[in-house]
Amino acid sequence: MEINSLTSFELSRSISSREISALEAAEFYLEKIGRLNPALNCFLHAAPDKVREQAKRIDGLIESGENAGPLAGVPVAIKDNILALDSPATAGSDILEGFLPPYEATAVTRLREAGAVILGKTNLDEFGMGSSCEHSAFGPTLNPWHAGRVPGGSSGGSAAAVSAGLAPAALGSDTGGSVRQPASFCGIAGMRPTYGLASRYGLIAFASSFDQIGPLARDTKDLALLMSAICGPDHLDSTSLDCSSDFLSGIEDGIEGIKIGVPTEYISKIEDADVTCALDHAVKTFKDIGASVDEISLPEPDATVASYYVIATAEASSNMARYTGVHYSSRAGSGPTAGDMIERTRNKFGPEVKRRILLGTFVLSSGYYDRYYMKAQEARARITGMFEEVFRSFDIVILPTAPSPAFKIGEKLSDPLEMYLCDIMTAGASLAGLPALSVPCGFSADGLPIGLQIIGPKLSDASVLRAGRAFEKKTGLCNQVAPAME
């Protein structure tokens, strides 16, 4: 049996039925990581002995006749801003050098309880601040489809690991699009759950009112499997929602009769003709499988990006204040005063983190709070209301996940504003706390993947996944293989 060809759902069933062992699956992926990761730089940390121990425990449960869980033996990669016991957590930053967390993220604990094997920690833009995975203190991750292109960010390491076949599934975190955009650039599926559906306990904070842990996998059925494992109420997270977390039930039911809206204002923001062509094909595909599709108005895409970055940087400024070297983070030597020591320590931040701290501190400062921060919050409420109005008449909204395919490494580093505009398609769902899914919907003329974003009203995660599943079954694009996997 070819392990590489199996989805997480299929792999779990094969391990549970003892067609293959969890240890065989673990060894397969460990070998691929050892062979391909030095070039791709997807993983920052992997401990083969610990992976084998986990796999042997799962095999022992199965051999004794016990239920090893719905993810029995499935190796899952974890973005390195999500805490896992016995693994370093760097958030892609020098300032967390040597940090071993004393506790574990609820999402990771729930994966273990479901039988998953934690494979290792993946690369990311420092503290999740970036759209390209170039802002890591440990070097950029490369796109498995083209080594000269970025994999997207900030969950670029997780997305590239799945795309390259180094893991069948992974967890990332999505603030303004950090699961969906890398899923699009790497030709896989990625999901941002409704805000509060997946616990944020153990996720290193960037912008707390946006941050959400989400899965990446080869198809939406695997996403539903992972979502069912990690979602659900958590008393350790005050924003956690008390909601059901079964997303597999009904995922194959199709979408006959659903109403889909395509926002015209966002279509005008597409930068690449191939993306426009892929969206047109997606519209036709949805019509072919029984949905009705109409153009809708969803104004102010530019205000969406502006308000997102004002609020997110303000929250980042607050969250980053803890990294002083006094009680938290590594310390960069000493100095004549505590202020000198803190200044030296904070110089360990990379340029993008410093930029966002400064911007966030500025918009929160006296004299500018009302002018920028409060206006951004007003825009957030207005954008949320626009989505609510649309969902009174339509079941889902579709638009490209990104305005272009993956861009070249280094192409946007000199222009931060151009980099920020990469989030123009994804920031709206983040502002409104909506479930949003990216699935492959085509390729550019030079063979780069293009993603389609499917957005639904709050707590419609199961319906969003069902729409994605119907689309990918019709197109077959989830079965495309990145060159690094071949």
Is 337 exposed, middle or buried (CB count within 10 Å of its CB: 0-12, 13-18, 19+)?
exposed
* Residue from 12, 16, 131, 178 carrying the catalytic annotation: 178
Q: Is 154 a catalytic residue?
A: yes
Please state the φ and ψ torsions of residue 233, each to the nearest 5 degrees: -65, 150
**Residue 297, Cβ neighbours under 10 Å: how many?**
11
- What would the two tokens of residue 476 be? 């077959």
Nearest to 426 by CA among 450, 405, 448, 398: 398
Q: Is 245 a catalytic residue?
A: no
* Residue from 12, 14, 16, 79 carrying the catalytic annotation: 79
Q: Do 145 and 406 form a contact (C-beta atoms < 8 A)?
A: yes
DSSP state of 408: B
Whose tokens are 């992976």? That residue is 51
Distance CA 97, CA 78 (A): 18
User: Which residue type, as a one-letter code, is found at position 143?
Assistant: N
Q: Is 21 a catalytic residue?
A: no
Distance CA 379, CA 427 (A): 12
Helix, strand, coil percentages in the chain from 3-state DSSP, rounded to 5 = 45, 15, 45
Helices (H), 347-448: 351-364, 375-390, 416-420, 427-432
The C-alpha angle with vertex 461 and arms to 118 and 433, in degrees rounded to 5, equals 95
Q: Do 436 and 401 form a contact (C-beta atoms < 8 A)?
A: no
Cis peptide before 154 (omega within 30 of 0): yes
Q: Which residues of 372-389 are buried (b: 16+ CB within 10 A; e: fewer)?
A: bbebbbebbeebbebbee
Q: Do 399 and 262 form a contact (C-beta atoms < 8 A)?
A: yes
* Residue from 154, 199, 329, 460 carrying the catalytic annotation: 154
SS3 44: strand
> Which residues are CB-contacts of 105 (< 8 A; sequence separation ≥ 6)?
82, 83, 84, 199, 201, 202, 203, 213
Nearest to 162 by CA among 110, 113, 207, 226: 226
Helices (H), 171-291: 180-186, 220-230, 264-267, 273-288
Distance CA 405, CA 450 (A): 6
Q: Which residues are tagged catalytic?
A: 79, 154, 178
